[in-house]
Amino acid sequence: MPTSPQPETVGAYLDQLQRALKGASPGLISDALADAEDHLRSELATNPERTEREVLASVIETYGTPEEIAEEYRSMEATISGPFPKAEAAPSQAPHGFFGVIRDPRAYGALLYMLLSLVTGIFYFVWAVTGLSLTAGFAILIIGIPFALLFIGSVRVLSHVEGRIIEGLLGVRMPRRLPATSDGNVTIWARIGDALTDARTWSSLLYLLLMLPLGVAYFVIAVTGIAISLSLTLGSLWALISNRSNFSISDVPWLDHLMHTAPGLMLSAIIGVLMIFVVLHVAKAIGWLHGRIAEALLVRL
């Protein structure tokens, strides 16, 4: 297997590390790149009398080549166990089949995420819209620049927090640390330029805005599914026990009559139970899809 030439710059080292981690989850790659960049730039800062090439040659001997670091991160990730053993698999690859979803923690995590997404979606949307409005309003004032930097920083922090929620509830590997920041010698104008030209700043902002319609949709789907499945199941069982049916479907006379008979109520209870499994499958599918959206918009590579 041919070996890559020894990198002579930090950028070249990071490029080789990213290529070596090809196929790994974006969150893992993001963490590996951030860790490596912090370490390399710290070494450069502590050895100002040496060239970047000399520092890198010395660091590689102790820190490791990009290929070695990539292998260490893959091995470390493989040893970490959690409640989501196959979180990166597509919903169609579920190991337990239709009824086995009742034992799949991903389904419950996704369902909880869907219920919480209304609150987080409203908060993210209000924060983003308010921040953008105030940033535009303060642009002509002296406080406009620091406020813009503060708002951009808050967007990155919120994106990181959202990533931790996604990993905890959906089982999708997200960055576990904030991206590497510029050193203290960089001017405020350079910081603003970096923030404005960083695609992840705008994609993260887009994610915060999208979470309102997505959160509303997720919440409605979850609540509707839970309400219908539980009402059919519990309502039918109560009607069978009490010998009194409260179901009323006046627009469909034959169905209304069926729901007042024991066979009809038993069928309704069975349908309600099956709908519980359907709701869990739908929740897991939405969780998987949302994980892909989050990876595309929140992970910075």
Give me the pLDDT at residue 132, please. 92
Give me the pLDDT at residue 281, please. 95
Residue 233 contacts residue 276 (beta carbons within 8 Å): yes
Give me the pLDDT at residue 41, please. 85
Residue 166 contacts residue 291 (beta carbons within 8 Å): yes
Give me the pLDDT at residue 147, please. 87
Q: What is the pTM of this model?
A: 0.82
Own/partner pairs for 173-177, CB < 8 Å, 24+ apart?
A: 173/25, 173/26, 173/27, 173/28, 173/77, 173/87, 173/88, 174/27, 174/294, 174/295, 174/298, 174/299, 175/27, 175/30, 175/31, 175/34, 175/298, 175/299, 175/300, 176/27, 176/31, 177/31, 177/34, 177/35
**Could you give the 3-state DSSP secondary structure of residue 208?**
helix
**Could you give the 3-state DSSP secondary structure of residue 249?**
coil
Q: Per-residue b/e over 251-277, b at no fewer than 16 CB within 10 Å?
A: eeeeeeebbeeeebbeebbeebeebbb
pLDDT averaged over 10-residue windows placed end to end, the chain, 301 residues: 72 90 89 88 85 85 88 83 51 64 92 96 96 88 84 90 94 80 57 71 93 97 95 86 72 67 84 94 96 91 69
Residue 221 contacts residue 282 (beta carbons within 8 Å): yes
Distance CA 75, CA 73 (A): 5
